Amino acid sequence: MRLLLPLLLLTACKDDPEPEPEPGPLEAAFARARIPAPVGIGTAGFGPFGAPSSNSPYAELYPATTAVHGHPEVKVVVVSRGEGFEAVFVRVDAVGVFQQLRRALVLELADRLGRDLDDALIIGATHTHSGPGRIIDAGGPFDIIADKFFPEFYDRLVTTTADTIEAAFADLAPARIGVGRANSADGASDRRCEDGEDHVNGDIPLLAVERDGATRALVMAYPIHGTTLSIDALHLSQDVSGAIEQSVEDRFDHPVDVLMFNSWGADMSPGSPEVPTQTGAAAWAGDYDHMEQVGWALGEAVHGALAGLTWDDAPTIDLRTVRVPIDREAIGYDDDTFDYEYGGVYCEGDADCDPATTVDGLDEACLPFPEDFPAPNQTLFTVGQLGDLQLITFPGEPGTKLAEQIIAEVGADQPLFLGYTQDYIGYSILEDDWWQGGYEASGALWGPRQGSYLAQRAAEAWGAWAEGEPVADEPAPITPFDDPQYTPLSPEAPVDQGAVLAEVPAAVGPTEVVTFTFAGADPWLGAPLATLETEAGEPVLRPNGVPIDSDDLRFRWDLSPDPAYDDVDAPTARTFAWTLTMPVQHTIPGNLALDPGLYRLRVSAPTDSGAVEVVSELFEVTPGE
């Protein structure tokens, strides 16, 4: 009996379930980094047809970029009450993110941090068409969407993103969050005539993070197709999303990281809001002014809503990632509709702007995905609760009406709906609307019922999370792209590195621009970083106290190699002439208006062994008339 009792007790202990983990105190952190994209890489989203011809070692089908305006970034905000009770927001300047990239990050972070972030990681794209391409190892039609895969650049992107997330986790500190909403119908415009409506839903959910008594980060969403620049601009740029973030950041009196996710931007172009302007401004590209115009309007709307935030230091953080199949069988097509076994895209037909009629045979005029390069056959959603917000992600570009349908079906009264997030499955609009044709219909990878099917599955994912139930047909996580295999690229040798090739002008007025050219290095090593200084050597500050530098949208770098890549495409020594352009005063207030006085530019230029510093002469800003 003495032996039996301990054995019974031991057996009972083994059968006891593990106690459920409990959330701890709320902590938060933030981090940001440049995306390591070389000027010269091809972009993504436009398609390479009809674009100006140019060449570089970093582009294939797409024309090479020659300039950078608002350096593409990865930004991270983490809110955590311990493992299993956290959200990791990652926003990247790209046309889209793909589930293979996300899965690679989940696995990499499991190795680095020892935690599974599959339910917590929320990675979304700003949908700038001036973001770097070449990150999809899928071939076929995807080369038309995003240029041919560049394994070494993709490897650098994964590493940089993982580094930035890891840096945020290393900086977790006590925090509280605030949630609220703003609204602006002026920043977006319904571009889709085919639906017969001029419908804009300007909802802006807000998630603020406070540390040490001050707001330090803000996650927001807005429905805007994230591009004003054309492919002809040959730019790398954050584009309009970066202008919105910069405008919101500059309305604080201290540093704040703003992350803007694109919500239902499929049918939304950047709007043309009426905003104040400054007379006597320098000539600056019209697309830049347009970005800043939208940014000003959204900055006003967001800051007008911050006083109404509701704060919480112990919020519910309960998220779940759900995978669903997608193909002809899963969607339920009959034999006579969208007969493309591996998916189809770019369905061509005259756009029909009358919703009472349709485009005959539209689903018979698509570019089929070949068997060797099929469209994705699964995708994913992340859903759940974050404080008072109901989170719903959507894989790709949803139309406004489709997103509104999902929000209504799940009964979300405080939705945080994030499109272009977790995966990219093309455009998704309502089925009736798809048959009207047009650009948005042509970009659905699985045809007319893709939008309705994904809306149904998003609602089912929400219901499964709410009930704590599994999804019956949930596939296993997709395998990441194969480990990139490549011979590391060797930057070309620079000529006269650090030499000033063209000095700043001695004096400039408000209607003029400052330019400065120096000999730098191969763009594979990164773009230079210029900081604006006073005569005393002090950095000139943005309104939020951050030094003004050339990574924001107040500047542009242009790169001109000599000999040009078109003249000598084999590796050779070159003069890499980098030219900085900076208007003295912008048309849209709040972006830059230098007071009269003396200034200089201090440039940190990367080299293959570190960096070299190049400092301009002083230039005088003279008063306006």
Looking at the structure, tell me whether residues 268 and 307 fall in a common domain: yes
- Our CA dihedral for 426, 427, 428, 433, rounded to 10 degrees, sits at -150
In the predicted model, is pLDDT for residue 7 greater than 60? no
Looking at the structure, tell me whether residues 112 and 126 fall in a common domain: yes
Phi-psi bin for 280: left (phi > 0), alpha (psi -120 to 50), beta?
Answer: left
Q: Which one of 425, 448, 467 terminates a domain?
A: 467
CA distance 452 to 475: 20
Looking at the structure, tell me whether residues 408 and 557 fall in a common domain: no
Q: Which one of 447, 467, 487 terminates a domain?
A: 467
Is 439 part of any domain? yes
263-302: b or e for each residue (b if 16 or more CB lie within 10 Å)?
bbbbbbbbbebebeeeeebbebbebbbbbbbbbbbbbbbb
In the predicted model, is pLDDT for residue 151 greater than 70? yes
The pLDDT value recorded for residue 1 is 45
Rg of the chain over all Cα atoms, to the nearest angstrom: 25
* pLDDT confidence tier of residue 433, bands split at 50, 70 and 90: very high
Please write the tens of the pLDDT for every residue from 247-274. 999 999 999 999 999 999 999 999 999 9
Please write the tens of the pLDDT for every residue from 28-60. 999 999 999 999 999 998 877 777 888 899 999
Is 244 part of any domain? yes
Output the six-digit token pair for 443. Answer: 């970009």
Which residues, in sequence order, are bridge partners of residue 67? 235, 558
Is 222 part of any domain? yes
Looking at the structure, tell me whether residues 170 and 291 fall in a common domain: yes
Looking at the structure, tell me whether residues 292 and 384 fall in a common domain: no
Place of tokens 């998630």: 207
The pLDDT value recorded for residue 16 is 65
Angle between helices 400-410 and 450-467 (to 10 degrees): 30
CA distance 439 to 313: 45
Please write the tens of the pLDDT for every residue from 95-109. 999 999 999 999 999
The pLDDT value recorded for residue 49 is 74
Mean of pLDDT values over 421-432: 97
Is 433 part of any domain? yes
CA distance 117 to 105: 9
Is 247 part of any domain? yes
Output the six-digit token pair for 316. Answer: 């519910």
In the predicted model, is pLDDT for residue 23 greater than 60? yes
Looking at the structure, tell me whether residues 248 and 349 fall in a common domain: no
Tell me what the pLDDT averaged over the chain comes to: 95
Please write the tens of the pLDDT for every residue from 548-601. 999 999 999 999 999 999 999 999 999 999 999 999 999 999 888 999 999 999
Looking at the structure, tell me whether residues 522 and 540 fall in a common domain: yes
Domain that holds residue 350: 317-467
366-389: b or e for each residue (b if 16 or more CB lie within 10 Å)?
bbbbeeeebbbbbbbbbbbbbbbb
Looking at the structure, tell me whether residues 119 and 242 fall in a common domain: yes
Is 481 part of any domain? no
The pLDDT value recorded for residue 604 is 98
Is 456 part of any domain? yes
Looking at the structure, tell me whether residues 435 and 554 fall in a common domain: no
Looking at the structure, tell me whether residues 302 and 343 fall in a common domain: no
Residue 373: HSE in the Cβ half-sphere, 13 Å Cα cutoff: 16
The pLDDT value recorded for residue 250 is 97
Which residues, in sequence order, are bridge partners of residue 238? none
CA distance 428 to 410: 18
Percent of the chain's residues with pLDDT above 90? 90
Specify the higher pLDDT residue, 142 or 410.
410
Place of tokens 């895969």: 149
Looking at the structure, tell me whether residues 262 and 334 fall in a common domain: no
Looking at the structure, tell me whether residues 259 and 209 fall in a common domain: yes
Number of structural domains, the chain?
3
Is 486 part of any domain? no
CATH number of the domain bearing residue 569: 2.60.40.2300
Please write the tens of the pLDDT for every residue from 290-311. 999 999 999 999 999 999 999 9
| 8 Å CB contact between 418 and 261 | yes
Residue 84: phi, psi to the nearest 5? Answer: 95, -10
Residue 514 contacts by C-beta under 8 Å, 6 or more apart in sequence? 504, 505, 508, 580, 581, 582, 583, 584, 601, 619
308, 464, 554, 590 from 249: Cα distances, Å = 18, 37, 14, 11
In the predicted model, is pLDDT for residue 512 greater than 70? yes
Please write the tens of the pLDDT for every residue from 176-185. 999 999 999 9
